[in-house]
């Protein structure tokens, strides 16, 4: 018999871990129990690398250890499982790099990071974001949930009691009202581009804000800004902002509410803090952490077989009790022996209640469009930059858009720019141009507002956008791109991401302008890696030439985005801004 060995290791960077999970190394030569319990006809070895969300890793490790002690094998071959306790954002960066995806806020993968065979992140939203982020061929196997933790609003118990907790049922709308009141509740969030519980809370809060009052846009932006003031990159930093003393002054000055998982609250309270946290299960229920078991594409058939058997181990009824020891529920929303539920928690211990309406599967109930819009809106509302917005006003922009109640392409584009402008805070520098052919004398472009701080020219930009009208000209794309690039580069700001966002519904159509070859040659000549200017080109309709746009952005950095449906350019605009990088 060839001996297998099971080990658990920490794959968490020091900045992202409260405490690294201990390393467990078991070999047949050094662990008597394994020798006694392993199947006698097991031979060879299949190495299976499994990356698991930190809080779930001990339960998976214990189950895998027991499995190996009982003779883990498939087809007579021994199975050697390595469990890595891993922050989901770090694995997501590795998988994104491997599959060519770009995820706003996630950053670059470590140079030494290796993609696992099986990944169990804390939420199916990670799998969905990878697909919508450009990993079109990313199609992991299985994806079923093996655990669950509701996303709650964590709140110091004295504050929660004032709101009627735990007897009173509270809603996300009521929270939005508190956040946007004259005496706002101090809220915080773990950056939702990097944390699934933060993303779930953001989705619930922005959905509620959109329906809470007479001005949904204002309420949504207000909620985003309120969260941004108390944001943290990692959970441990956020929970450290909760009150550390019982006196009213300390409580009033400390963090008053944050979206966390139920497991986070239980873990926090287990340390007997001076001010315990209440877990508020707001209505409607947020997307829970569902811990999908994702078999990553491209693994060998033997490993895939081993992964299938391990999944059976992790869905055996006995695994629910291992989850309970980690303050986690089973995938159906119920819990095992030893689980200590927070006051007001839904689902009785060991009961047969139906799972929450969000579902226990992977991403079936998730709306990829809503997730993408929430992530993009957050990124824009919490970053700053220096941006020149350019809108095509050629004659074809008067075409009607059936999906937008027959508004023109021009009207739809301007509306998208206006919504984006509302998300930018006063730290941004924004300018506005329009372009066609011979729009300003012999020039194809016209400056409506020069690039400047929004703090002093927001009203001017709003007025200029409202006055944008289509011309009868053609599309002077090449001359405009070159002039815009030079203008942004001339006053390049090292403290900002310097970029151009240009909307157009056609390819270059200017007999008197420069050629494509001239444009590309001049861009190559003036491009300066020390002063990068990213160019984002948003094409609208079927007449746009994607290759033409890509040839430009391959030189400048940024990227082309093309949609057949002009009504979707608002979402594309948000995504394009959110994905800008600090360098090229």
Q: Is the separation of the CB atoms in 421 and 380 below 8 Å?
A: no
Whole-model pTM over 0.85? no
What is the structure's pLDDT at 8? 62
The answer to whether the peptide bond before residue 553 is cis (omega within 30 degrees of 0) is: no
Residues 170-211: tens digit of each pLDDT: 899 998 888 888 788 899 999 999 999 999 999 998 888 888
Please give the span between the terminal C-alpha atoms of the chain, in angstroms, as a whole number: 54
- The region that residue 577 occupies, defined by phi over 0 for left and psi between -120 and 50 for alpha, beta otherwise, is alpha
Residue 461: what pLDDT?
Answer: 96
Residue 121 and residue 225 in one domain: no
Handedness of CA 380, 401, 510, 450 (dihedral sign): negative
Residues 500/501/503/509 CA torsion (nearest 10 deg): 20
Whole-angstrom distance, CA of residue 363 vs CA of residue 367: 8
Q: Which of 257, 280, 303 is the endpoint of a domain?
A: 280
Q: Average pLDDT of the chain?
A: 85
The C-alpha atoms of residue 147 and residue 150 are separated, in whole angstroms, by 10
Check residue 403 and give its pLDDT. 82
Q: How far apart are CA 493 and CA 229, in angstroms?
A: 24
Same domain, 248 and 112: no
The confidence band for 169, taking pLDDT boundaries of 50, 70 and 90, is confident
Query: Which helix (H) or strand (E) segment is 118 a member of?
Result: strand 118-120
Mean pLDDT of 331-345: 92
Q: Are residues 92 and 171 in the same domain?
A: no
SS (HEC) of 286-328:
CCCECCEEEECCCCCHHHHHHHHHHHHHHCCCCHHHHHHHCCC
Domain assignment present for 347:
no
Give yes or no: residues 566 and 475 share one domain: yes
Is 464 found in the same domain as 432? yes
Cβ neighbors of 181 (< 8 A, separation 6 or more) are none
Together in a domain, 566 and 446: yes
Q: What residues contact residue 408 under an 8 Å CB cut-off, 6+ apart?
A: 397, 398, 399, 400, 401, 470
Q: Could you tell me if residue 552 is inside a domain?
A: yes
CATH number for the domain spanning 176: value is: 3.40.190
Q: How far apart are CA 217 and CA 546, in angstroms?
A: 32
38-52: pLDDT as tens digits: 444 677 889 999 999
Q: Which structural domain, as residue segments, surrounds residue 506?
A: 383-578
Closest by CA to 376, choosing from 419, 341, 428, 342, is 419
Q: Is residue 336 part of a domain?
A: no
- SS3 (DSSP) at 280: strand
- Give percent above pLDDT 70 in the chain: 88
The DSSP symbol for 22 reads P
Q: Based on the domain organization, do 418 and 448 belong to the same domain?
A: yes
Residue 145 has pLDDT above 50, yes or no: yes
pLDDT bin (cut points 50, 70, 90) of residue 422 is confident
Alpha carbons 411 and 417: distance in angstroms, whole number: 10
CATH code, 57: 3.40.190.10
Q: Domain boundary residue among 254, 280, 306?
A: 280
Q: Coil, strand, or helix at residue 504?
A: strand
pLDDT digits (tens, 9 = 90+) for 203-245: 998 888 888 667 777 778 878 888 888 889 999 999 999 999 9
Are 6 and 33 spatial neighbours (Cβ–Cβ below 8 Å)? no
* 352 vs 300, more confident: 300
Q: Specify the pLDDT at position 9.
A: 53
What local confidence, expressed as pLDDT, does residue 128 receive? 93
Q: Give 207-236 as a DSSP string.
A: HHHHHHSS-HHHHHHHHHHHHHHTEESSHH
Count of residues for the chain? 584
Going along 157-263, which residue ranges are E strands? 187-190, 231-232, 257-261
135: Cα within 13 Å, side-chain hemisphere: 23
- 526, 488 Cβ separation under 8 angstroms: no
- Residue 335 lies inside a defined structural domain of this protein: no
Question: What values do phi and psi take at 87, rounded to 5?
Answer: -70, 130
- C-alpha angle 113/116/120, rounded to 5°? 115
Q: 197 and 260 in contact (C-beta within 8 Å)? A: yes
Q: Which residues pair with 47 in a beta bridge?
A: 80
Number of domains in the chain: 3
The partner residues of 309 in beta bridges, in order of sequence, read: none
pLDDT tens digit sequence for 483-500? 999 999 998 999 888 999
381-417 confidence digits (pLDDT tens):
777 889 999 999 999 999 998 888 889 999 999 998 9
Residues 452 and 431: their CA atoms lie apart, in Å, by 6
- φ/ψ bin of 562: left (φ > 0), alpha (ψ from -120 to 50), beta (otherwise): beta
| 355 lies in some domain | no
Report the alpha-carbon distance of residue 104 to residue 123 in Å, rounded: 17
Asked if residue 484 belongs to a domain, the reply is yes
Q: What's the rounded Cα separation, in Å, for the pair 81 and 47?
A: 6
Judgement on whether residues 519 and 432 belong to the same structural domain of the protein: yes
**Confidence band, pLDDT 50/70/90 cuts, at residue 365:** low
In this structure, the answer to whether residues 110 and 140 fall within a common structural domain is yes
What is the DSSP code string of 476-495?
-HHHHHHHHHHHHHHT--TT
Cα separation, 441 vs 473, whole angstroms = 12
Residues 116 and 257 reside in one and the same domain: no
Write down the H helix ranges in 326-445: 368-382, 409-423
Q: What are the two backbone dihedrals, phi and then psi, of residue 423, each rounded to the nearest 5 degrees? A: -80, -30
Strands in 72-130 per DSSP E: 73-74, 77-86, 118-120
Cα angle: 479, vertex 536, 548; to 5 degrees: 55
Closest CA to 416 of 576, 203, 212, 202: 576
The helix/strand count (H/E) of the chain reads as: 20, 21
Q: Are residues 110 and 239 in the same domain?
A: no
User: Is 354 within a domain?
Assistant: no
Q: Note whether residue 104 is domain-resident.
A: yes
- For residue range 543-582, list pLDDT tens digits in order: 899 999 999 999 999 889 888 877 788 788 877 777 766 5
**Over the stretch 71-81, which tens digit does the pLDDT of each residue have?**
888 888 899 99
pLDDT for residue 450: 96
DSSP classification of residue 551:
H
Cα gap 235→197, rounded to integer Å: 10
- Residues 115, 81, single domain; the answer is yes
Q: Taking residues 91-115, what's their average pLDDT?
A: 84
> What is residue 355's predicted lDDT score, i.e. its pLDDT?
41
**What is each CA distance from 112 to 10, 91, 93, 295, in whole angstroms?**
14, 12, 12, 21
Tokens of 346: 């839904």
């Amino acid at each position: 018999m060839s001996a297998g060995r099971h080990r658990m290791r920490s794959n968490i960077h020091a900045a992202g871990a409260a405490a690294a999970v201990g390393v467990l190394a078991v070999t047949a030569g050094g662990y008597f129990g394994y020798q006694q319990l392993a199947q006698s006809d097991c031979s060879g070895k299949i190495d299976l690398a499994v990356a698991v969300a930190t809080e779930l890793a001990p339960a998976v490790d214990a189950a895998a250890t027991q499995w190996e002690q009982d003779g883990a094998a498939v087809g007579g071959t021994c199975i050697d499982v390595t469990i890595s306790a891993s922050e989901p954002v770090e694995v997501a960066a590795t998988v994104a790099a491997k599959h060519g995806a770009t995820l706003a806020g996630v950053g670059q993968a470590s140079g030494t990071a290796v993609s696992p065979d099986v990944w169990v992140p804390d939420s199916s939203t990670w799998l969905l974001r990878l697909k919508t982020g450009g990993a079109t061929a990313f199609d992991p196997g299985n994806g079923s949930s093996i655990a669950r933790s509701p996303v709650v609003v964590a709140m110091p118990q004295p504050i929660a009691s004032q709101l009627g907790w735990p007897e009173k049922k509270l809603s996300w709308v009521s929270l939005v009202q508190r956040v946007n009141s004259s005496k706002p509740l101090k809220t915080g969030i773990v950056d939702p581009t990097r944390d699934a519980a933060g993303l779930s809370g953001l989705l619930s809060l922005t959905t509620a804000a959109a329906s809470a009052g007479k001005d949904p846009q204002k309420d949504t932006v207000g909620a985003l800004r309120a969260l941004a003031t108390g944001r943290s990159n990692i959970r441990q930093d956020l929970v450290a902002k909760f009150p550390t003393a019982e006196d009213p002054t300390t409580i009033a000055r400390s963090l008053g509410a944050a979206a966390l998982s139920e497991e986070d609250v239980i873990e926090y309270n287990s340390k007997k803090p001076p001010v315990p946290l209440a877990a508020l299960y707001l209505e409607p229920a947020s997307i829970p952490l569902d811990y999908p078991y994702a078999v990553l594409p491209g693994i060998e058939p033997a490993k895939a077989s081993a992964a299938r058997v391990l999944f059976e181990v992790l869905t055996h009824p006995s695994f629910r009790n291992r989850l309970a020891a980690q303050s986690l529920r089973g995938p159906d929303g119920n819990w095992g022996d030893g689980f200590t539920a927070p006051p007001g928690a839904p689902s009785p211990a060991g009961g047969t209640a139906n799972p929450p309406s969000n579902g226990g599967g992977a991403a079936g109930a998730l709306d990829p469009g809503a997730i993408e819009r929430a992530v993009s809106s957050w990124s824009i509302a919490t970053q700053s930059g220096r941006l020149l917005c350019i809108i095509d006003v050629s004659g074809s922009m008067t075409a009607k858009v059936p999906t937008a109640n027959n508004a023109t392409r021009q009207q739809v584009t301007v509306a998208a720019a206006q919504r984006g402008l509302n998300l930018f805070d006063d730290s941004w520098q924004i300018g506005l141009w329009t372009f066609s052919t011979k729009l300003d004398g012999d020039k194809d472009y016209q400056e409506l507002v020069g690039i400047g701080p929004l703090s002093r020219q927001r009203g001017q930009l709003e007025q200029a956008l409202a006055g944008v009208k289509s011309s009868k000209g053609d599309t002077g794309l090449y001359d405009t791109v070159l002039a815009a690039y030079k203008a942004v580069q001339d006053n390049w700001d090292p403290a900002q991401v310097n970029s151009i966002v240009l909307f157009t519904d056609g390819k270059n159509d200017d007999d008197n302008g420069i050629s494509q070859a001239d444009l590309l040659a001049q861009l190559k000549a003036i491009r300066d890696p020390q002063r990068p200017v990213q160019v984002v080109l948003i094409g609208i309709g079927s007449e746009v030439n994607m290759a033409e746009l890509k040839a430009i952005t391959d030189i400048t950095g940024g990227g082309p985005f093309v949609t057949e449906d002009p009504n979707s350019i608002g979402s594309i605009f948000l995504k394009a801004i959110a994905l800008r990088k600090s360098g090229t």
